[in-house]
Each structure stands twice: as C-alpha cells, then as structure tokens.
Amino acid sequence: MGMKVYPPEFKADAVALYLSDPTRTYASVARDLGINRETLRLWVRNARTGQAGQETVTPAATRRPRQAATASAAGPAPSEAVLEEENRQLRARVRELEAERDILCRAAKYFAGETSW
C-alpha cells in the first residue's frame, strides 16, 4: 500500500487537537482521526521545531503537564480565581462531551434505521 498524503490543513488541525488537551495521548487522537500514532507524533514534532513552514511551538506554551487528580494535603487551598477557572474548563469539557454523545446518538439512529429512541 502506498503512503497516504494528507492536506496541510488536516495536519495542522490534528496537531492543534493534540496540543489543545493535555489529557489526550498521541494514540487517542490518532485513533479518533483514523491515522497512525507515529504519523501524528511526527507532525507534532515538526510543528514544534518549526518545520513545514509553521512557527516554532514550544511544548510548555502549548501543552500543560498532567495534574494530579487530588490536591496535595500540604499545599495551600486553591484561590477563588483558580476554582473559577477550573469550573469554566470543566463546563467546557461537559459541553464537548454532550455534543459528542449527541452526534453518536444521531449516528446510531441513522444506522439502525430507527427513530423511536
């Protein structure tokens, strides 16, 4: 089988999708897009080094490290602003998941040929 050629817009969107969510892995994004994990990893590496006519992207500026699920017992209590930001991010994630669920429900209805769900 020959090598697939992807349009630059698709590559840029795939890299942006990976970099936009620190909880996503190469494998999960690649699986969602139907591409090889190593292909996505190469695109991200090229984007970070500024190849393919793109700006140099630093990992720290685009991808936050994963945070622990629970706060440290010795650490200070989170401030009001931090909590508000976390709530805003969580609400956005809920909206995204609800949209994905709705899309999947509509697709299931379409493929099942049933409309009485």
**What percent of the chain has a predicted confidence (pLDDT) above 70?**
74
The average confidence (pLDDT) of the chain is 79
Residues near 108 by Cβ (< 8 Å), separated by ≥ 6?
117
User: How confident is the model at residue 114, as a pLDDT?
Assistant: 58
C-beta neighbour count of 33 within 10 angstroms: 16
Superfamily of domain 1-64: Homeodomain-like (1.10.10.60)
> Is residue 28 predicted with pLDDT exceeding 70?
yes
Q: How confident is the model at residue 74 (pLDDT cuts 50, 70, 90)?
A: low
> Is residue 102 predicted with pLDDT exceeding 80?
yes
Q: Enumerate the domain spans of the chain.
A: 1-64, 78-117
